[in-house]
Amino acid sequence: MTQSSRDRAPAGDGSLGRSVSPRDAEAAERLLLAGRLGVEGRLVQASNATLYCSIEHEGVSAACVYKPVAGERPLWDFPDGTLAEREVAAYAVSKAMGWGLVPPTVHRDGPYGPGMVQLWVEPDPDIDLVALSRSDDEAIRRMAVFDAVVNNADRKIGHLLPPGDGHVYGCDHGVCFSVEYKLRTVLWQWRGKPLTAEAVEALGRVHAGLREGPLGERLAELLTAEEVDATRRRVELMLKHRIHPYPPEDWPAIPWPPL
């Protein structure tokens, strides 16, 4: 999936010291913000300039993705130069939900200018992603709720990253948070079904964070006021109806290609 660089992942090979777990958000954010970035290769199937990098700080190292704003492909439906901030905003929502669905992600300067830097999560190659995406796996169901909150317009199968411990991470959240309803995903299996109790709790945490917690302040730094408002309204709608949303009628509901 990547160039040969993936076989030389610096994380965990022992040559660059200790690594960091995506579950340790604080340590990972510290490393991603302060670390020295070394570009190792370009992810060939990516549509933007998505660079596979090593990162190292005070004896801790990891692999990560660096997407410089300068390498963002212009899109007709999202303002230019905003995808990296949307990725960081998606991470902030993931943190507020409390499910750790998005690998630690920061906004910072890098060798090709400012961009987003996200911890690399190596997916277990023995997991069948197509089967996982169609399953009723609870981790995938959480992802469907998260996508509805952030209004993800591009949840492809290849954006699911299961490291093999039962957890599933998601990547590529550049085209999220549109004010218009643009949910486009391969995860429609729960449409119209009741939200789980844990989903209602997670939505409650997001709602509280948007109203008086740090989430609202963080999103205000990364998105427009209209986009933050629309996020709050999506959460309120889900809390009111307590169901997984239905596909939009005026928008292709499944990304193409779905992989």
Residue ranges in contact with ligand ADP by CB under 6 A = 1, 43, 46-48, 50, 65, 103, 118, 120-121, 158-159, 161, 171-172, 174
Nearer to Mg ion, 104 or 158 (CB): 158
Task: Find the shortest distance in angstroms from Cβ 69 to ligand ADP.
Answer: 12
- The string over 25-49, giving b where at least 16 C-beta atoms fall within 10 Å of a residue's C-beta and e elsewhere, is bebbbbbbeebebeebeebeebebb
> Which phi and psi angles does 114 have, rounded to 5°?
-60, 150
Distance between CA atoms of residues 135 and 60, nearest Å: 36
Contact status: 172 vs Mg ion (CB under 5 A): yes
Task: Find the shortest distance in angstroms from Cβ 124 to Mg ion.
Answer: 19
Query: Which residues are within 8 A (CB) of 217 and not within 5 positions of it... i.e. 6 or more apart?
Result: none
Nearer to ligand ADP, 152 or 231 (CB): 152
Task: Find the shortest distance in angstroms from Cβ 76 to Mg ion.
Answer: 17
Distance between CA atoms of residues 75 and 242, nearest Å: 33
Task: Name the binder of 121 from ligand ADP, Mg ion, none, CB < 5-8 A by kind.
Answer: ligand ADP
Nearer to ligand ADP, 168 or 171 (CB): 171
Secondary structure, 3-state, 163-232: CCCCCCEECCCCCCCCCCCCCCECCCCCCCCECCHHHHHHHHHHHHHHHCCHHHHHHHHHCCHHHHHHHH
The span of 90-98, 100-108, 166-174, 208-216 binding Mg ion (CB under 5 A) equals 166-174
Task: Find the shortest distance in angstroms from Cβ 186 to ligand ADP.
Answer: 13
Residues that bind Mg ion (CB under 5 A): 172
